[in-house]
């Protein structure tokens, strides 16, 4: 929805009006930076007049440039946040040090402009004139600074060493804040540089990096016939056990590889594994504020836009049912309908879809909380009016095999007590077709399968969504072997070790065939 006419006119003016030449870098009087929007900038003093000739804080706050900077976050639906805001602050309230103005770096502006241009194109908006990289930014030879340098504030601080007498492989079974999670993942990658690296797939609506750690014999490279596997936690911010399990798994894989574990070395030499511990770090912050042990079903579940990320993916299942009713044999690489982009699409959802387009994943698991069961597609009923209806994919046999690979080695999922968490799934072997449990549309698992042929299961790790710290060690012990068994499945399917009769023709092809040549339709933004 466009802003109201008067506001829209101001935004157009701020985005497109001709620039004024910036004043030369002369002596300046530094004053405290008191602009709320720029309170997290990497400096605390500015000067007036500014590069845009605003002569006071009041003049800045009433300017069209400031108004645009304040609403860009929402216009772009969280894309490029907070990078754009900090870049704008560097121009609106320039950095002042020792009586001199310091200019932001041109290369930082140019890189961000290139990265954010698709987001501006998606709303038919020009790059704002006051962020013109050639006029308000300078080269490194002129002593520029990086206005985005504080984005990682505190994230590179070294984690304290293990307690005296404990080995470096020691795991702390504790809840990790966002900063702690990032530090642990980066330190783990630093310990195992030859098999691990971290990378970001984008940012959350509130600007937190969606950080992934990958493990393989050649980090950063896709190898022919090497299966690509991803594990995702914390898609619902208040379901935190999966987040912690993936943080522990990253440390475990690194340590066991260094200790010479034949199993882990074989796994990482034959499979490329990507771990995204938190897909919804903003929601986690809301849930964590309630405290560990809180088992609320709504607080922190959604992202900062109040969107349920596991209902935010394109509904391709309805299209599949339509094609099936027309006797079409197509069940993979279904295109994203254009009308999907007319609604609210979270930046976290876009980031994961782009990630899937970039890497040819064949296997995936999403870790949740609230019950104890493994579900698999389809999650949306073939008769939408039915809330519960068995709705299998053409690869039902393979999906059951993958679900059982997790459930069959999980001690609590195999526990025979009907009073245990998830007792109503006991007779099913603790696995279930998603739509036969409850039907919903816009789920990540259905989208993975129908858009990119990636087989994704959903693992409910327990009935307590935010377990207390004292329960984390036990949860890890219950899930360590299932996680390893699951990520080993691509190689087991290929060799036939997974199946008493050997792999079927339908099970061999999806998990063993490289998809590096496959192409998906481009995604806006």
How confident is the model at residue 496, as a pLDDT? 58
DSSP characters over 149-195 = TTTTTTTTSPPPPPPTT--TT----S---HHHHHHHHHHHHHHTTTT
Q: What is the mean pLDDT of residues 342-361?
A: 95
When pLDDT is cut at 50, 70 and 90, the band that residue 48 belongs to is very high
Q: What is the mean pLDDT of residues 428-453?
A: 96
Contacts of 345 (CB under 8 A, 6+ apart): 77, 312, 525
Q: Which fold has domain 178-495?
A: Aminopeptidase (3.40.630)
How confident is the model at residue 13, as a pLDDT? 46
How confident is the model at residue 101, as a pLDDT? 92
pLDDT at 352 over 70: yes
Q: What is the mean pLDDT of residues 495-509?
A: 48
140-158 residue pLDDT tens = 999 899 998 877 544 454 4
Domains 30-142 and 178-495 alike in fold: no
Q: Which residues carry out catalysis?
A: 460
When pLDDT is cut at 50, 70 and 90, the band that residue 330 belongs to is low
Torsion of CA 320, 324, 326, 332, to 10 degrees: 50
Determine which of 11-20, 295-304, 308-317, 356-365 has the lowest per-residue pLDDT on average: 11-20
Neighbouring-strand partners of residue 273: 215, 229
Q: What is the mean pLDDT of residues 430-457?
A: 97
pLDDT at 119 over 90: no
pLDDT at 11 over 80: no
CATH class of the domain comprising 30-142? mainly alpha
Determine which of 25-29, 269-273, 351-355, 381-385 has the lowest per-residue pLDDT on average: 25-29
Task: Name the average pLDDT for the chain.
Answer: 86
Q: Which of 93-97, 115-119, 128-132, 312-316 has the highest mean pLDDT?
A: 312-316
User: Which structure tokens are listed for 241?
Assistant: 């056990």
Determine which of 4-18, 205-219, 266-280, 390-404 has the lowest per-residue pLDDT on average: 4-18
CA 42/CA 73 separation, integer angstroms: 19
> Which letter does DSSP use for residue 74 in this model?
H
When pLDDT is cut at 50, 70 and 90, the band that residue 21 belongs to is very low
How confident is the model at residue 301, as a pLDDT? 96
When pLDDT is cut at 50, 70 and 90, the band that residue 501 belongs to is very low
How confident is the model at residue 266, as a pLDDT? 96
Q: What is the mean pLDDT of residues 377-387?
A: 89
State whether the Cα torsion 457-462-465-470 is positive or negative.
negative
Contacts of 230 (CB under 8 A, 6+ apart): 273, 274, 275, 276, 355, 359, 361, 363, 364, 365
How confident is the model at residue 524, as a pLDDT? 41
Instruction: List Cβ<8 Å contacts ≥24 apart for 157-163.
Output: 157/183, 158/183, 158/187, 159/183, 159/184, 159/187
How confident is the model at residue 494, as a pLDDT? 57
How confident is the model at residue 39, as a pLDDT? 87
- Compute the C-alpha angle 505/509/515, nearest 5°: 170
Domain ranges of the chain: 30-142, 178-495
When pLDDT is cut at 50, 70 and 90, the band that residue 37 belongs to is confident
Q: What is the mean pLDDT of residues 349-360?
A: 96
pLDDT at 350 over 90: yes
pLDDT at 268 over 90: yes
pLDDT at 466 over 80: yes
Over pLDDT 70: what percentage of the chain? Answer: 83
pTM of the model: 0.81
> Which letter does DSSP use for residue 216 in this model?
S
281-292 residue pLDDT tens = 999 999 999 876
pLDDT at 237 over 70: yes
pLDDT at 211 over 50: yes
57-110 residue pLDDT tens = 999 999 999 999 888 888 888 888 888 999 999 999 999 998 899 999 999 999
> Which letter does DSSP use for residue 463 in this model?
S
Q: What is the mean pLDDT of residues 496-523?
A: 45
Higher pLDDT, residue 417 or 195: 195
CA 39/CA 418 separation, integer angstroms: 55
pLDDT at 505 over 90: no
Q: Is the peptide bond before 335 cis (omega within 30 degrees of 0)?
A: no
């Amino acid at each position: 929805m466009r802003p109201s006419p008067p506001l829209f006119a101001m935004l157009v003016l701020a985005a497109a009006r001709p620039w004024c030449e910036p004043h030369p870098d002369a002596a300046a009087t530094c004053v405290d930076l008191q602009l709320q929007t720029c309170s997290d900038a990497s400096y605390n003093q500015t000067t007036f007049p500014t590069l845009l000739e605003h002569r006071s804080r009041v003049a800045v706050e009433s300017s069209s440039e400031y108004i645009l900077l304040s609403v860009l976050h929402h216009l772009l639906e969280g894309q490029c946040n907070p990078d754009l805001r900090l870049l704008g602050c560097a121009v609106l309230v320039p950095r002042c040090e020792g009586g001199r103005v310091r200019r932001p770096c041109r290369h930082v502006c140019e890189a961000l402009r290139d990265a954010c241009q698709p987001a501006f194109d998606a709303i038919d908006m020009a790059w704002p004139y006051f962020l013109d990289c050639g006029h308000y930014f300078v080269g490194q030879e002129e002593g520029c600074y990086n206005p985005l340098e504080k984005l990682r504030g505190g994230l590179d601080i070294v984690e304290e060493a293990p307690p005296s007498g404990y080995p470096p492989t020691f795991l702390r079974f504790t809840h990790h804040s966002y900063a702690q999670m990032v530090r642990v993942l980066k330190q783990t990658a630093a310990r195992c540089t030859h098999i691990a690296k971290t990378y970001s797939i984008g940012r959350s609506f509130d600007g937190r990096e969606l950080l992934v750690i990958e493990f393989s014999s050649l980090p950063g490279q896709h190898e022919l016939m090497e299966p690509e596997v991803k594990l995702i936690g914390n898609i619902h911010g208040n379901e935190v056990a999966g987040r912690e399990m993936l943080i522990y798994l990253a440390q475990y894989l690194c340590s066991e590889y260094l200790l010479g574990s034949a199993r882990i070395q074989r796994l990482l030499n034959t499979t490329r594994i990507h771990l995204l511990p938190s897909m919804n770090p903003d929601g986690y912050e809301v849930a964590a504020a309630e405290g560990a042990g809180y088992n609320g079903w709504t607080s922190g579940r959604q992202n900062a836009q109040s969107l349920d990320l596991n209902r935010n993916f394109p509904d391709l299942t309805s299209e599949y049912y339509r094609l099936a009713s027309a006797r079409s044999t197509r069940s993979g690489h279904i295109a994203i309908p254009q009308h999907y982009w007319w609604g609210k699409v979270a930046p976290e959802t876009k980031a994961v879809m782009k990630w899937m387009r970039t890497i040819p994943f064949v296997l995936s698991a999403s870790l949740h909380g609230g019950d104890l069961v493994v579900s698999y597609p389809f999650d949306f009923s073939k008769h939408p009016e039915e809330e519960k209806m068995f709705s299998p994919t053409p690869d039902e046999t393979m999906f059951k095999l993958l679900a059982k690979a997790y459930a069959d080695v999980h001690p609590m999922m195999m526990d025979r007590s009907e009073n245990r968490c998830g007792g109503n799934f006991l007779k099913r072997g603790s696995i279930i077709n998603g739509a036969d449990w409850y039907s919903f549309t816009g789920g990540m698992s259905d989208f993975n399968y129908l858009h990119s042929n990636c087989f994704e299961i959903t693992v409910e790790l327990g009935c307590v969504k935010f377990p207390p710290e004292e329960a984390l060690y036990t949860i890890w012990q219950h899930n360590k072997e299932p996680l390893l068994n699951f990520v080993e499945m691509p190689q087991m399917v290929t060799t036939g070790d997974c199946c008493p009769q050997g792999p079927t023709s339908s099970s061999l092809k999806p998990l063993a065939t490289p998809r590096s040549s496959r192409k998906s339709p481009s995604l806006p933004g």
